[in-house]
Amino acid sequence: MLEILVYAFGIMYTPGPSNLLSLNGGINGHIRPTLQFCLGVACAMLLLFLLLGYTGAWLVSPRYQLLISCIGSLYIAYLAFKIACISINVIEPAEQSGEVDNKLNFKSGLFLQLLNPKSFVVIFPIVTVQFPAVQISGSSIMVWSLLLSSFAFGAPTSYLLMGAYLGKLVHQPQYFRLLNLSMSLLLFYVAGDIAYSHIYLKWV
């Protein structure tokens, strides 16, 4: 079960649309509306986890788990490689018109995350591979969905706090580079664990 938490943490806490919007909200001092935005992100993830978690239990047959595990481990490794290679450009406060920050609220966070491809990157490998692999079903899906959705609240909130209290620090690209490399290593670990536990051990 540790790999579920590691994978969710590794994906959710890397820079993405909701995280960088929260970062800018913090840099510009829009704390309250950005917290509402973060809550909207978390609620969107909870809805998606519940919807896909309960449907995935019967949409994905056990005989397809090996194939899905192969594709999932390769895809996670690909994501880890991409995260290790990307560069981050933080928008300077002087370049902001203020319009984006004024639109940060619960509703915008909810709809942004529902339409954010990164949401499905997080959820699909978990509900189709990792949940069935450790027999998470029934009411346990609800519990895990709530837990993982709290990660979805914590991720943009942590960027908000970084923007509010460490504005000068987060403008330095080397710190984002270190974050990306750390998250990339976590994702490579998860990919390797899936490949070993759910592919290699079933073949030998």
Residue 202 confidence (pLDDT): 73
pLDDT in tens, 56-105: 656 555 566 677 678 777 877 887 787 677 644 444 444 444 444 456 88
Q: How many CB atoms lie within 10 A of CB 169?
A: 10
Please tell me the distance from the alpha carbon of residue 10 to that of residue 7, in angstroms, as a whole number: 5
Token output for 157: 């909130």
* φ and ψ of 97, to 5 deg: -85, -15
Pick from 95-99, 126-130, 195-199: least confident:
95-99
* φ and ψ of 174, to 5 deg: -65, -30
pTM of the model: 0.69
Please tell me the distance from the alpha carbon of residue 22 to that of residue 155, in angstroms, as a whole number: 9
**198 close to 129: Cβ distance less than 8 angstroms:** yes
Q: Which helix (H) or strand (E) holds 94?
A: none
Residue 196 confidence (pLDDT): 84
Mean pLDDT, the chain, integer: 77
pLDDT-derived band of residue 19, with 50, 70 and 90 as boundaries?
A: confident
Mapped onto helix, strand or coil, the DSSP state of residue 100 is: helix
Tell me the mean pLDDT in the region 14-38.
84
Integer-rounded Cα radius of gyration of the chain: 18
Residue 162 confidence (pLDDT): 85
More confident residue, 110 or 23: 110
Report the length, in residues, of the chain. Answer: 204
pLDDT in tens, 33-55: 999 999 999 999 999 899 888 88
State how far the alpha carbon of 24 is from the alpha carbons of 30, 41, 97, 101, 173, in Å: 9, 16, 12, 8, 15
Mapped onto helix, strand or coil, the DSSP state of residue 1 is: coil
For the chain, give every domain's residue range: 2-203
